[in-house]
Chain A
Amino acid sequence: MRTKQRQNAKQNTHPAAQNQDSLPHSQIDRPDSAALHAPVSGGSDSASCESAQHSLGYTIRRSYDHLSLATYLSALLLLTACVISLLAGKYPLSLGKILAGDAMQLQVLLTLRIPRTLMAVLGGFALGAAGFVFQTVFRNPLAAPDMIGVSSGASAGAAFAILFLPASAAAVTLSAFAGGLLAVGIALGLASAAGSGSIVLAGIAVHSLAQTVLMVLKLTADPERQLASIEYWIMGSLNAITLSRIPFYCAVCVIGLIGLFLLHRQIILLSVDEAEARMLGVPVGRMRLLVLLLATLVVASVISVTGVISFIGLLAPHIARLLTRDNRLHTLTLSGLLGGILLTVADILARTVAASELPVSIFTSLLGAPFLLYLIMSGNGGGRHVE
């Protein structure tokens, strides 16, 4: 996508393209019905097509410049955060020692730091991108995966595993994943049975049901050990992530993300009024189910490994929209990149600022909220992004 735009921008550095600015306004503004009925592919009116091409090139170049700045800066920032995340922690690593072949350093890097950093980057990216999808599809700036019960379902699943299954991290993860999917399955099933439009209500019902299950499980838990680990899981942490635990969940997450990126155009169309979208050829009901299923799959695969991580899905898309001020593909990418940065930096802080590991959600909001506030205050958020 990005390379395609770069090519377009290069091709259109025709002198006439630069002249677009100096054209009298009226000339640009003048209606031209020759173009009105021009066939889609053929150039019946070569002159008008040519000028359209030039102004198009001008536009693409401008949006491309805009795109490059925010996205590349975020990618660079994420890369830096990655390197720090690989090195920082209770047992500090140094590039020199690793390159020298220190066995202990390599061991820590491979079994602990790489999986943990990978999960932070991918998880943050997934939560940010999924947040964008939820907010767009529901046309609600506060929409989050929890609206259709995924995190409460996962929490209940994790609590179930902590109480009744043999104590192992893998069992908790699997049970949380199953719980999250079960909740979403019930919500989407109810919604498709009751007709579209009821999806939020179905989600609320399932969400409160899962919360109740969680409450009952907490009541029966042993307050010393089990209750504490349930609470700790719910607060979210990237502690104790090992290489063997994550491949399946990473694969699910990546597949879901690819699906979401491919369906980006449809996601934007889903933000349009239902009647209008249907007359634009969008099978609204089915498409909404598919997109939400992919988005919740992505979220479930992340939080079943990390526990519930709050605020990223809310903060990252808003920051991305304020920076790009459109909802094109790069806004989705930027939501993901910003989510990745937030989670990676939050995780670095969670394991370095105190003697013991802290819940990562504390830092995701501590980092993200001030930045969002700054963007709003600085007037960057003049335009409405989500109604």
Chain B
Amino acid sequence: MSNNIHRNSSINTVFRQTSSSQRRTDLRSIQGSVSSHNTLAAEIAESTEPAESPICLRVSSLSAGYGRSTILKDVSFCAKQGEITGLLGPNGCGKTTLLRALCRQLPFTGSCLLNGQPLEQMTSRQLARQISYIPQRSGIGISMPVTDVVLMGFNPVLGLLEQPSRAQKEKARGALRAVGMESYAEQDYQTLSEGQKQLCILARTIVEDASLLLLDEPESSLDFPHRHRIMELLTEIIRGQDMSCSDGSTLSEDSPDRRTAFSGKAALVTLHDPQLALEYCSRLVLLKDGVCTTILHPDTDSLPDMEAALSEVYGLIRLRAIEENGRRSLILLPRG
């Protein structure tokens, strides 16, 4: 126990050193000196992984912040098609900042390639077509039927004065059916529960048909079943496979390799719940104080490695695995 505490504090010291030394240096010089090293590291990491899932988003030595304070420091990772990439870390570690930078709402340094194209070279409209952003709680403040909320998703492909076509309305209907909200189509969005609202926004994401999905803590205001429902639906959207079962039982039993199939879409999800992240994400980017500490692969990494990495971020935790129908589920426990 005391040994653990000692280890933890030494980790903290290391972090404090890195972050303070970075604070002293100008952002640009960090980019210049470290980026080459980091891209190299990212490339090496890639080459060891199966080649069939192309990279959707490649972030190399990204630094971003508000005004003069730098929140994110030199973060590098990849998000692959057909995979859910999780962003995990305590409050204030820079998860939302990272998403906001990727939406180009914050100035950033470093490079972000979306399907090979630099993010900063894209027009706003291109960006809107390629990225679907799902905020923690959707900021729809006025009454409107659920259908209209879903139809908003067509805006990036519609002309300024164009109205959604009949086919698009049908597709919106189909998306609502896919998330199990079809019977609410004409109901006022404001009268829905938080979980139903998230499902409705997910239906909007389906019609948007973007190649990268950015979700900001989609689970934060949801109850237990809705959390899993949202993540299962997200998995379906990302994989692009025909899933006609609503309880998700086929998901876990039939396809142990469910995280490796791809549909051309990738998701980057910030999550508060590490349990949920371990369950649904193919890779986990762990952030602490704006620095990426580790990138985990919950399917393949060993239990002690993951336990150590998660402890680094969350303080000491215990990670246990249970086997069921040949599939490993991970359980996170507070230190005992």
- Whether B63 sits at the interface, judged by CB under 8 Å, is no
Q: Does A383 contact B (CB under 8 A)?
A: yes
User: B167 contacts which of A40, A274, A385 (Cβ < 8 Å)?
Assistant: A40
Using a Cβ–Cβ cut-off of 8 Å, how many residues does chain A contribute to the interface with B?
54
Residue of A nearest to B248 (CB): A31
Cα separation A279 to B141 with both chains bound (whole Å)? 17
Instruction: A41 to B165: give the CA distance in the assembly, Å.
Output: 9
The answer to whether A276 and B135 have CB atoms under 8 Å apart is yes
- Across chains A and B, the number of contacting residue pairs, with CB separation under 8 Å, is 168
Minimum CB–CB distance for B262 against chain A, Å: 13
Q: Are A383 and B190 in contact (CB under 8 A)?
A: yes
Query: B119-151: contact bitstring with A at CB < 8 Å (1 yes, 0 no)?
Result: 000001101110111010011111111011000
The segment from B21-29, B171-179, B282-290, B321-329 found at the interface with A is B171-179
Instruction: Let me know if B152 and A52 touch, CB within 8 A.
Output: no
Question: What range describes how many residues of B lie at the interface?
Answer: 35 or more
- Let me know if A38 is at the binding interface, CB within 8 A: yes
Give the distance in Å from the alpha carbon of A40 to the alpha carbon of B168 in the complex: 6
Instruction: Judge whether B160 is part of the interface by a CB distance below 8 angstroms.
Output: yes
CB-defined contacts of A328 to chain B, threshold 8 Å: 144-145, 148
B179 proximity list for chain A (CB < 8 A):
31
Q: Which residue of B lies closest to A140 (CB)?
A: B141
Residues of B at the A interface (CB closer than 8 Å) are 100, 103, 105, 124-125, 127-129, 131-133, 135, 138-145, 147-148, 152-153, 155-156, 158, 160-161, 163, 166-171, 173-175, 177-180, 182-183, 185-186, 188, 190-191, 206, 208-209, 233, 236-237, 240-246, 263
In the complex, A31 Cα to B143 Cα: how many Å? 25
* Residues of B contacting A385 in the complex (Cβ-Cβ under 8 angstroms): 142-143
The verdict on A351 contacting chain B, using a C-beta distance below 8 Å, is no
Give the 5 A-B CB pairs with smallest separation, nearest first. Answer: A273-B139, A35-B174, A281-B128, A281-B156, A279-B133
User: Whole-angstrom distance between the alpha carbons of A364 and B327 in the complex?
Assistant: 70
On chain B, the residues within 8 Å of A139 by CB distance are 141-142
8 Å CB interface, A253-305 against B: 262-263, 265-266, 268-269, 271-276, 278-283
Neighbour of A52 across the interface among B124, B145, B163, B174, CB < 8 A: B174
Asked whether A62 lies within 8 Å of B103 as measured between CB atoms, the reply is: no
Q: A169 on the interface (CB 8 Å rule)? A: no
Q: Is A53 an interface residue (CB 8 A)?
A: yes
Which residues from B are CB-within-8-Å of A48?
174, 177
* B167: A residues at CB distance < 8 A: 40-41
A134 → B minimal CB distance (Å) = 13
A201 contacts B by Cβ under 8 Å: no
Of the candidate stretches A75-83, A93-101, A319-327, the one touching chain B is: A319-327
